[in-house]
Amino acid sequence: MRKGGEKAPLADLDFQVPSACGVTGIMDVRGRLFSGEAVFKSICNMHERGNGLGSGFAAYGIYPQLKDHWAFHVMYQSEAARGETEVYLKGDFTRVHAEPIPVRRVKTLEFVPILWRYFLDLKPGDGVKSGEDRVMNATMHINRDIAGAFVFSSGKNMGIFKGRGFPEEIGEFYRIPDYRAYLWTGHNRFPTNSIGWWGGAHPFGLLDWSLVHNGEISSYGTNRRYVENAGYSCTLSTDTEVMTYLFDLLVRRHGMDFATAAGVLAAPLWDRIERMADSAKRGRARDLRIVYGAALVNGPFAVIVADSRHMVGLNDRVKLRPLIAARKGDVHYIASEEAAIRCVCPSPDSVWMPEGGVPTVVALRN
């Protein structure tokens, strides 16, 4: 209250703004490592796009000495959950190294879980399932069946670092500027239809996939049933988890390139398909909509998805969420706002706004 009983104006952070959330990504296509200071500064520039209920980072190339081993980042609610998880992991994996994830105490962070990372090798299997599918199944089992345990990163030579807080807090907590990577993504969360908690923060990951998302998916129920029929377990009640699994299913398991996957997730409207002059293109677009109709993502969204060789930006087909791309030499940028790019790259060689439904794909050259 102000003097005289007058009410102070409400700040923007007192509202659930559905168009908020901030995403950012930086990639050196030559694979050169650089400090997390840049992505930290970029996402903090979009502070007002969050409300302290979630933030996080993904980094690729950070474990060069252990690059051939699966790196599991796991959060626990209790030591009992940790013990049960470690017993389970012994069944399919050989432990190469394990340690608490290094963190720095931040007074403003509350309800911090127990955070561990494991570097693992798969034991010989029956040859029916690929190594990636076995790791996927292990991740699903822990997240679904072990109470108080959550695998939030499970790729090789990469890691996700996330939690409930503003990006300034989460970045300091995980000591993000101390890591060096060739590809970084970051997120500042303003939850819409899901609660803000450590596991529900972005990025979401599976294997070497990581995904940050601004938007709201109205087709969540249909998309969830579709990926669950393909063997994924959705345990977090959030649309971003489903989008991560959709990319894994379409690109890794079905072998699509990113342009084709975008034609599924952000498929053109039927009337636009029928107006396509090229009959082959028209037939392909029609076939994708028919075969993969349940994978169509409805609602406004802007995502940055990454794997060990790519950074991809994608909007919904009518571009209801902002996404900007830029390049400076061998370094590429994608973000919700141009200001988040220019604060770390004041004079880019080029800046552009990606078209709705058309992916911006950045790939390693080596």
Give the residue among 366, 336, 340 at the shortest CA–CA distance from 354: 336
For 222-257, the DSSP string reads HHHHHHHHTT----S--HHHHHHHHHIIIIIIS---
DSSP letter for 81, please: H
Alpha carbons within 13 angstroms on the beta-carbon side of residue 329 total: 8
Residue 66 is given by DSSP the state G
Residue closest to 258 by CA, chosen among 244, 267, 242, 247: 247
Tell which residue, 193, 195, 192, 197, has the closest CA to residue 165: 197
Per the annotation, the verdict on 234 as an active-site residue is: no
Phi–psi pair at 56, nearest 5 degrees: -175, 175
The DSSP bridge partners found for residue 118 are 72, 98
Separation of alpha carbons 155 and 321, rounded Å = 29
Are 234 and 44 in contact, with CB atoms under 8 Å apart?
no
d(CA 208, CA 328) in angstroms, rounded, equals: 26
Q: Is 347 left (phi over 0), alpha (psi -120 to 50) or beta?
A: beta
One-letter amino acid for residue 189 of the chain:
R
Active site residues: 21
